[in-house]
Amino acid sequence: MQNIYPYVLIVHLFCAIVLLGYIFFDVVIFNRLRGVLGDDFDRVKQAIGQKAVKIMPLMLLLLILTGGMMMSSWVGSKAGGYFQTSLQQIFMAKVILAFAIFVLVSYSLSMKIIFKKQPVKFIKDYIHHIALLFGFFIVLFAKIMYLV
Q: Per residue in 58-90, pLDDT tens?
A: 999 999 999 999 998 888 877 788 899 899 999
Angstrom CA distances, 33 to 6, 44, 49, 145, stand at 39, 10, 15, 37
| Domains contained in the chain, number | 1
**What does the pLDDT read at residue 140?**
96
Instruction: Report d(CA 119, CA 125) in Å as an integer.
Output: 9
Instruction: Report d(CA 19, CA 135) in Å as an integer.
Output: 9
Residue range of the domain that includes 99: 5-145
Whether the CB-CB separation of 101 and 135 falls below 8 Å is answered with yes
**What does the pLDDT read at residue 28?**
92
The string of pLDDT tens digits covering residues 106-145 is 999 899 888 888 889 999 899 999 999 999 999 999 999 9
**What does the pLDDT read at residue 10?**
97
Percent of the chain with pLDDT over 70: 100
Q: For 16-20, 25-29, 81-85, 138-142, which range has the lowest pLDDT when averaged over its residues?
A: 81-85
Helix extents (H) in the chain: 5-24, 34-37, 41-71, 86-113, 121-145
**What does the pLDDT read at residue 89?**
93
**What does the pLDDT read at residue 38?**
84
Instruction: Report d(CA 62, CA 14) in Å as an integer.
Output: 10
**What does the pLDDT read at residue 75?**
86
3-class secondary-structure state, position 84:
coil
Instruction: Report d(CA 49, CA 66) in Å as an integer.
Output: 25
Name the pTM for this structure: 0.88
